[in-house]
Amino acid sequence: MGEEIRTVPVELGPESYTIYIGKNLQETVLSALRQKAYSKKALLVTDSNVGPLYGSKVRSVLRKAGLEVDLYEVPAGEHTKNLAEAEKLYTRCIELGLDRKSPIFALGGGVVGDLTGFVAATYMRGVPFVQLPTSLLAMVDSSVGGKVAVNHALGKNLIGAFYQPDAVFMDLSMLGSLPEREICTGLGEIVKYGMIYDVDFFAFLEQHAEEVLRLDHEPTRHMIARSCEIKAEVVSQDEKEAGLRRILNFGHTMGHAIEKETGYIRYNHGEAVAIGMAGAADISVQMGLLSEEDARRIDALIEAMHLPLYADGCTVDAMYADIFHDKKTIGGKVNWVLLDRIGHAVCRNDVPESVVRGAMQARIQH
């Protein structure tokens, strides 16, 4: 049993925590929680998709750890990530009499993690927060790095905080219930880590694309652990996004514009980021940074992961306007994350408008 569990430490001084990755983590969860000085009362937040599958099972594990756990279910979907839902959660916390040492658990994908983390960060100025991500995307992206947020009618993730969890438990047996499209959206973020940070990991994904799409146990555990290690390494060097952490936004500048233009309905996050990464590779070639051969390898890996290379339902003018509303745009200058080779990212804020528009044009379905 012991060898089955991979751990990834996230080194952030007093805010440090551990990510546990493996199948059937009940015993791991129990021993980790019994070492914490939590209050008895706890809240487990999930959504209407995940709750029926895993809600009561997880609640019984938490009860075994000596917690009195209330299970709270939010509607599934991005539209749940708002201040109105957060307020309902605060009300529940107050009704239950949760105090400053009461842990709040997030069981679900990125929406549940972001919303629950935002509530945990702000209820009583911060209570213990534990992530139990159930989607591949949440495991490798939103559950690592301590960014929590809700959306505003005028933009995604505009109201948020940096707030680290106490622990993250990734039970790979929960991935079995994911539809294929949800697996692919997680792979969008996973290939990103190879592109920006680790050419050997990129090559591993090229060589094991089929096993990875099937979620074979060994390659899956390795790819999740390596993704978390890379993100943890970057975040521990730059927790509040002053410099290096920006490389994690590779593909996101154009990707967020695609999501916005298609109403957050046509493309999920990983799909939009995949098109955005292909577009950022195009810009990198135009700027004389990246070889055309590397750009072709990037397109080929995106396709191998069953992800799109072109966006439907977007216009260049609208996408170009959108990138100036992005949180990463400072003083009217867009900070583009580009590549000078596979495995190494560079940030540039001097990309000419004509190059950006050209790359957007090339990535729109005609």
115 against 260, higher pLDDT: 115
213 pLDDT exceeds 70? yes
Radius of gyration of the chain (CA): 20
Residue 1's pLDDT is 41
Q: Does 125 participate in catalysis according to the annotation?
A: yes
pLDDT score at 191: 98
In the chain, where are the structural domains located? 2-177, 180-362
Taking the C-alpha atoms of residue 126 and residue 122, their distance in angstroms, rounded to an integer, is: 5
Catalytic residue among 6, 156, 226, 231: 231
Stronger pLDDT, 176 or 342, i.e. the higher one: 342
Domain 180-362 belongs to what topology? Answer: Dehydroquinate synthase-like, alpha domain (1.20.1090)
Q: Is 241 a catalytic residue?
A: yes
- 65-98 pLDDT per residue, tens: 999 999 999 999 989 999 999 999 999 999 999 9
252 included as an active-site residue: yes
pLDDT for residue 2 is more than 60: no
Long-range contacts of 339-342 (CB under 8 A, 24+ apart): 339/195, 339/196, 339/250, 339/280, 339/281, 339/284, 339/289, 339/290, 339/294, 339/298, 340/284, 340/289, 340/290, 341/199, 341/290, 341/291, 341/294, 342/194, 342/195, 342/199, 342/202, 342/294, 342/297, 342/298
Residue 189 annotated in active site: yes
pLDDT in tens, 225-257: 999 999 999 988 887 777 888 999 999 999 999
| 85 tagged catalytic | no
Token pair for residue 22? Answer: 């493996």
> Tens of pLDDT along 140-194?
998 888 899 999 988 788 899 999 999 999 999 999 999 999 999 999 999 999 9
Residue 208 has φ and ψ, to the nearest 5°, of -115, 25
Between 157 and 216, name the one with better pLDDT: 216
Strand bridging mode 104-108 / 129-133? parallel
pLDDT digits (tens, 9 = 90+) for 297-341: 999 999 999 999 999 999 999 999 999 877 666 677 899 999 999
pTM of the full predicted structure?
A: 0.91
- For residue 58, pLDDT over 90 is answered with yes
249 is catalytic: yes
At 174, list the tokens: 């929960």
Domain 2-177 belongs in CATH node 3.40.50.1970: yes
Choosing from 156, 192, 256, 328, the catalytic residue is: 256
